[in-house]
Structure 1
Amino acid sequence: MNKFALALLTLCPLLPLNAASLGTVGQVFPIAEIDMLQWIENRLQTFEKTGELDSMREQFQENVKAGVKRPRPVGLITTKNPEVFLVDPTLTLAKDINDANGNLIYPKGTQVNPFDTKTWPALQKANIGTFAFSKTLVFFDGDDVQQVLWAKEFAKAHKAPHTIKWILTGGEPETLHHQLHARMYFDQQGNLSRALTLKRVPSVVKQEGVMWQVSEIDVSHFPVFMEETHHVAN
């Protein structure tokens, strides 16, 4: 630090500190808050006058239709080394469950296995036994030709086709409905796949005692093309 700067620092505490008004520089405007709802309404009125609102509405409808026809795929892969594993379906309460009067019904940490009635709070003393789930869940990607061919073969070999619940992880449900002549469900946002810890498709999921049994399928031996099929309306 040079001598001049040091002298200024030394003198600063000795200088009188007098506040002075410097006046007004430029025009002063009051602070105003934007009414967001009014702003949105004004924008909508503008869009309506210019015809943009109709265009936005049509685009929204098209997006909804496209999403229903072809939902976003889950993104599971196939495998040449299929595995069979068990998944515990037990649920654990994350917090206390109280009635309308605040009385505790089920405490936090209570565990319930949907397949084991002994864990059902209302039936713990009933001694009913194991709950039997009659459906077989089949997860597959309808955009994969090999998986579709396998699904057709699986449907033909299954003795009770009505007990199969087809769950798509990709593809168009309507198209697969016609190809397999069965109702199709879609694993929206992969919620079921995550709950069952699925990593590969096709996977056949069924009850095994008080657990889920997941059997992965190798479809690599199926051809990668499929003959065009013609659907005749009834």
Structure 2
Amino acid sequence: MRPVSSLVRALAITLCASASPANARDYGQHGAVWGIAEPDLLEQIHTRLLRLEASGETARLNAALQHRTEAKVQRPDPVPGLAAASVSRTWTFDPTITVSADIRDARGAVIIVRGTRVNPLDTVPLRSPLVFLDGDDPAALDWAATTFGKRRPKVILVSGAPLALMKARQMRFYFDQGGTLVRHFGIRAVPAVVEQKGRVLQITEQALKPAPARAS
């Protein structure tokens, strides 16, 4: 009796010998066949850019972008959600923070331990008041110049054209882009003033006009 491996080998040889070209069939062509013709994406983009440049569209788009950028610099987007102060109110703001991780110096030595309460005013005092204004309100601008002129305040606009005002009033103006500062201090109306009082900040929303009388 032959071993199993010998039988398998003999069977394989028999099958190979019996195979012939006559057993291969041509089933013909079924359906249309096209070659792969996928356009090159980069080439399409390049062609499109050349057409835009030739037509002058690229120059027009660049000019429009430059105009929008200059307009944003001249007049940034106003801070949303603020009103003109109709009632004066004052509150204090404690800037003290609790350090969440050890603070180390350049050599790796711990200089402030995690959990320490730190008041930034102890090392960096607020020497000049921060005055938040609507730059489109001439009365508020006049009030700030009269009230704080000699104290050299940092005037921070929440609306208006800071560059034009600098030229017209010969003083420096800042702009609270995105309303980061007014949100931090909780300011809801302007004019508003932030001043240091000891180890806290005093914030006042100053009404320049009396609140309208309510009908009884």
Normalised TM-score (structure 2):
0.67
Tell me, yes or no, if the aligned pair for 1:89 and 1:211 is still in contact at 8 Å.
Answer: yes
Q: Secondary structure at the match of 2:133?
A: strand
CA distance in 1, matches of 2:114, 2:180: 24
Asked if structure 1 preserves the Cα contact closer than 8 Å seen for 2:87 and 2:210, the reply is: no
Match for 2:59: what amino acid?
A: D
Name the CA distance, whole Å, in 2 between partners of 1:38 and 1:108: 58
Q: Which has the larger radius of gyration?
A: 2
Instruction: Return closer, same or farther for 1:69/1:92 CA change in 2, 3 Å cut-off.
Output: farther
Q: 5+ unaligned residues in a row in structure 1: which ranges?
A: 1-22, 118-130, 223-234
Q: Which amino acid aligns with 1:183?
A: R
Superposed displacement of residue 42, structure 1? 4.4
- Specify every segment of 5 or more residues in structure 2 that has no aligned partner in the other structure, as ranges: 1-28, 212-216
Structure 1 residue 171 corresponds to structure 2 residue 160: yes
Are 2:116 and 1:116 aligned? no
The letter for the 2-side match of 1:59 is A
The residue aligned with 1:132 is 125
Letter in 2 for 1:61: Q
* Partners of 1:56 and 1:106 in 2: CA distance: 53
Give 1:196 deviation, angstroms.
1.7
Given the two structures, how large is their TM-score scaled by the length of structure 1? 0.63
CA contact (8 A) 1:166 1:185 kept: yes
- In structure 1, the partner of 2:3 is none
Find the aligned partners of 1:41 and 1:94 in 2 and give their Cα distance.
52
Q: For the residues of structure 2 that align with 1:164 and 1:217, how far apart are their CA atoms?
A: 16
- The Cα shift of 1:160 comes to 1.8
User: What CA distance in whole angstroms lies between the structure 2 residues aligned with 1:89 and 1:173?
Assistant: 28
Question: Which residue does the alignment assign to 1:80?
Answer: 86
CA contact 1:77–1:200 (8 Å) conserved in 2: yes
Mapped pair 1:59 → 2:64: yes
The farther-off stretch of 211-220 and 90-99 is 90-99
The Cα of 1:62 is off from its aligned counterpart by 0.2
Q: Is the alpha carbon distance of 1:174 and 1:42 closer, same or farther for their aligned partners in structure 2, counting shifts above 3 Å?
A: same
Contact (CA 8 Å) 1:152, 1:180: kept in 2 or not?
A: no
Cα distance in 2 for partners of 1:89, 1:170 equals 26
Amino acid at match of 1:83: R
Report the AA paired with residue 52 of structure 1.
E
What amino acid is aligned across from residue 165 of structure 2 in structure 1? Answer: L
% identical aligned pairs:
34
Q: How many residues align?
A: 183
